[in-house]
Structure 1
Amino acid sequence: MGHFLTLSACYVSIITYFYRIFCLSPANARRVWIALLEKEIEFELVSMKLNGDQFQPDFLDISPFHHIPVLADGDFHLIESLAMLDYLEAKYPTIALLPQNARDLAIVRMVQMVTVNELTPALSPFVRQTFGGAGEPENLEKSALQVAAVLRFFEELLGDTPFFGSNTITLADVVAGVSVPWLPELGLSLEEYPKLEDWCDRLNSRASWKETQASPELVEAFKAQMKQLMKGKQQQPLNDEINELRREDK
């Protein structure tokens, strides 16, 4: 299930994908959703079923690789969540999510790219294991070392500021903040990183994080479905249960 968000004034839309919100592969849709909320841009959600809708000709017209999310501003269509974040920042700069200082801007970009290029791939074995897939100890150990390296880097980079590169929220927080707080769900503790733990608490207390976070019941139902998919045993009753939970969660 996805969502179609329409911004006011110039018909801007974004389609989000439930799997990517929770599975960190990566959490592309939630990044953009949070940015819209933080920048106070009006939008609406329209449901989209991902059991084939993403391969329909009208969708392929705006997303030729059938990827989600997609952002459409009139007849201009964007794919890739980081491009969308930059687009929204440039077009709606009033509530800035990027610092002006060169050093702070570099910090934001580093956090974004390290999240995408270093953290997300390292999480794949843990995601597979969490959802019932086969986990190879050697891969898990190697990935755990990579995750620890990223967390140490983030802990040091955060320093004494409440957010990355700023005293106010930035796009670095938006990108890393839909992945790092979820690590304990994968069995990866944040206890050795007190600054990051406090940072996660700050993010999770924000209205934008709360609004885009599914209920525990929805998450558990989704995990159950993913475990079945890992085993090749997808069942329609469970799909119906998840769809019902989604409706209740809105």
Structure 2
Amino acid sequence: MCILERFPSSSPGDHHSKEFEAINMLKTVPVLKEGDFTLIESVAILLYLTRKYRTSIYWYPPDVQLRGLIDEYMAWQHDSIHLKMQKFLWSKLLIPLITGQEMPKEKQDELLGEVNVNVQLFTDHFLKDKPFIAGNIISLADLLAAMEMMQAVGASYNIFMGKPKLNAWRQRVEDSVGARLFEEAHARLLNIKKWDTSFLDPSVKEKIVAMVKNMAK
């Protein structure tokens, strides 16, 4: 089994190569590939792994209402947390790193505003006064949420600062999986500012420059 991760590897831009396109024509990561079987969406990959390897039931418990809470968050998070955090990471860090061009401050402030609005929605609706999204025990939903929110931290913006409830939840997630594993899982992200972009394919840079122009509109 091969899982290709979300963040840049030692060969930047590999997911834009012809070889990768043969695996995933959408050129997105993560990707899970087992022989001729391929999955390209993170939620589908996580659910597949819990079912195939019969992981501890708290990741995706059999109780239908608890699953409902987990499914609700995972259905909401792609547009409302993942894409917001991703756009902020690109505008604040990756675009300047790759192109040498700073995004307009107004655009960065706009994206940060969207991030903070949806993080507050996450706190008020999905977390409420519970230790975790599905209640008293950590689940796949918490793993996804923590991973996405750490993108802001990777862009040198501490999304948890000044938000006691959110920060306490993040600490519970870290304590549940273990500090060492939590740090290892986010190591590439937190060191992304050191990414050497000199080996990036020129065609990829051209696409990113075009993206800058669209984002700046």
State the TM-score, normalized to the length of structure 1. 0.61
Structure 2, unmatched stretches of 5+, are 201-217
State the SS of the aligned residue for 2:137: coil
Partners of 2:15 and 2:76 in 1: CA distance? 32
Displacement of 1:91: 2.1
State the SS of the aligned residue for 2:103: coil
Asked if 1 retains the 8 angstrom alpha-carbon contact of 2:11 and 2:199, the reply is no
User: Which residue does the alignment assign to 2:91?
Assistant: 128
Higher relative contact order (CA 8 A, sep 6+): 2
Displacement of 1:182: 4.3
By percentage of residues, which structure has more helix?
2
User: Could you tell me which of 148, 163, 186 is aligned with 2:116?
Assistant: 148
Deviations 1:120-143 (A, max 9, x none): 332314532234342323323332
By percentage of residues, which structure has more strand?
1
User: Which residue does the alignment assign to 1:139?
Assistant: 107
CA distance change for structure 1 residues 140 and 103 in 2, over 3 Å: closer, same or farther?
Answer: farther
Displacement of 1:159: 2.8
Displacement of 1:51: 5.3
State the SS of the aligned residue for 1:142: helix
Aligned length: 188
Partners of 2:89 and 2:31 in 1: CA distance? 27
Partners of 2:30 and 2:108 in 1: CA distance? 29
Displacement of 1:181: 3.5
Structure 2 counterparts to residues 232-247 of structure 1, below 5 A: 234=198
- Please tell me whether residue 105 in structure 1 is matched to residue 62 in structure 2: no
Asked if 2 retains the 8 angstrom alpha-carbon contact of 1:119 and 1:146, the reply is no
User: Which residue does the alignment assign to 1:210?
Assistant: 183
State the SS of the aligned residue for 1:196: helix
Structure 2 counterparts to residues 63-142 of structure 1, below 5 A: 63-96=24-57, 97-123=59-85, 124-131=87-94, 132=96, 133-142=101-110
Partners of 2:6 and 2:49 in 1: CA distance? 19
User: Which residue does the alignment assign to 2:7?
Assistant: 18
How much identity, in percent, do the aligned residues show? 23
Asked if 2 retains the 8 angstrom alpha-carbon contact of 1:99 and 1:165, the reply is no
Displacement of 1:178: 0.7
Structure 1, unmatched stretches of 5+, are 1-11, 21-47, 237-250
CA RMSD of aligned residues (A): 3.1
Asked if 1 retains the 8 angstrom alpha-carbon contact of 2:149 and 2:159, the reply is no
Partners of 1:148 and 1:17 in 2: CA distance? 22
Partners of 2:127 and 2:182 in 1: CA distance? 19
Partners of 2:17 and 2:89 in 1: CA distance? 29
CA distance change for structure 1 residues 160 and 100 in 2, over 3 Å: closer, same or farther?
Answer: farther
Displacement of 1:235: 6.3
Deviates most, 140-149 or 76-85: 140-149
